[in-house]
């Protein structure tokens, strides 16, 4: 499967501008990839202004994702601000060309930045299938909590979308590799570049890793850009059979 990771400089709270920018960036991969991954809050930046920026689950950004997916012939995913019932969520949305869709609500909210005061925490892991791959999803701060993303022999690709600041870039790189190695899975980590209105600076370093933690492809640091890498389910399964770490893993459940 071909995966394209997209690393934009997100315009602060400017949905129209961000979607136009992303459309331009995606022109070169139309019909040439299977899956496009956008960062966390790709249409606004990591904003706590949920009351002004929220959308309902089938609103403008979702329709944009459906149109892009159908016209460009690839699945597209990323997170943005959703209001569902009376609560706001930092919600990851995955849309396929045949209009199938899946979503995941961020579990670990970044309390240091006040995210927990604006958004509701997700309650469930979400693992779904696309082109034969079992896919698990986490959002930014979730990456720090390995129990939540522990592979129970139930997924092949871990997607992490983020607005991860430059000041903690070493942590980003280290944890992405750790999640790949400990879970014997492919990892796609997608971050942004540029500055936001809360004085955070972003290095990007969006990357696709193999189950040994080796880089398949990476986007240039501090630069807007895209990169496409190929992952192989047969190679993954062969590696797991030859080095079956998963057989010795501890069994557990997560109490919510």
- The active-site residue out of 15, 72, 83, 140 is 140
| Residue corresponding to tokens 């990476």 | 218
Helix (H, G, I), strand (E, B) or coil at 151: coil
* Contact indicator for 188, 66 with CB cutoff of 8 Å: no
Task: State the Cα–Cα distance between residues 228 and 32, nearest whole angstrom.
Answer: 9
pLDDT at 225: 98
> Among this protein's residues, is 205 annotated catalytic?
no
Task: State the Cα–Cα distance between residues 171 and 158, nearest whole angstrom.
Answer: 17
> Among this protein's residues, is 106 annotated catalytic?
yes
pLDDT at 17: 98
pLDDT at 255: 76
Residue 9 DSSP one-character state:
B
pLDDT at 171: 98
Domain boundaries, the chain: 2-248
pLDDT at 197: 94
What is the pTM assigned to this prediction?
A: 0.97
Phi, psi for residue 151 in degrees, rounded to 5? -80, 115
- The active-site residue out of 106, 115, 160, 185 is 106
Q: For the chain, 256 residues long, give each residue's pLDDT as a single digit of tens.
A: 999 999 999 999 999 999 999 999 999 999 999 999 999 999 999 999 999 999 999 999 999 999 999 999 999 999 999 999 999 999 999 999 999 999 999 999 999 999 999 999 999 999 999 999 999 999 999 999 999 999 999 999 999 999 999 999 999 999 999 999 999 999 999 999 999 999 999 999 999 999 999 999 999 999 999 999 999 999 999 999 999 998 898 888 887 7
Q: Which CATH number fits domain 2-248: 3.40.50.720, 3.60.110.10, 3.40.50.300, 3.20.20.140?
A: 3.60.110.10
- The active-site residue out of 15, 40, 72, 205 is 40
Task: Please name the residue ranges forming H helices in 29-168.
Answer: 50-53, 60-72, 115-118
């Amino acid at each position: 499967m071909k995966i394209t990771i997209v690393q934009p400089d997100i315009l602060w709270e400017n949905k129209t501008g961000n979607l136009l920018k992303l459309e331009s960036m995606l022109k070169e991969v139309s019909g040439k990839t299977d899956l496009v991954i956008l960062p966390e809050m790709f249409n606004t930046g990591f904003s706590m202004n949920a009351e002004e920026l929220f959308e309902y689950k089938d609103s403008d950004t979702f329709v944009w994702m459906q149109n892009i997916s159908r016209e460009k012939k690839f699945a597209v995913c990323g997170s943005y601000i959703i209001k569902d019932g009376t609560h706001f969520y930092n919600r990851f949305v995955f849309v396929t060309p045949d209009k199938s869709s899946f979503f995941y609500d961020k579990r670990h909210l970044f309390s240091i930045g006040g995210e927990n005061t604006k958004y509701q925490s997700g309650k469930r892991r979400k693992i779904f299938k696309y082109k034969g791959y079992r896919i698990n999803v986490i959002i930014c701060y979730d990456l720090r909590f390995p129990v939540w993303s522990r592979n129970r022999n139930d997924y092949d690709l871990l997607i992490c979308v983020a607005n991860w600041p430059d000041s903690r870039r070493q942590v980003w790189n280290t944890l992405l590799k750790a999640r790949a190695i400990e879970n014997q899975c492919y990892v796609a980590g997608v971050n942004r570049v540029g500055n936001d209105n809360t004085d955070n600076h972003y290095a990007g370093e969006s990357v696709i890793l193999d189950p040994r933690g080796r880089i398949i492809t990476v986007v240039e640091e501090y630069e807007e850009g895209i990169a496409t890498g190929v992952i192989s389910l047969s190679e993954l399964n062969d590696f797991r059979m030859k080095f079956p770490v998963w057989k010795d893993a501890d069994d557990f459940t997560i109490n919510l």
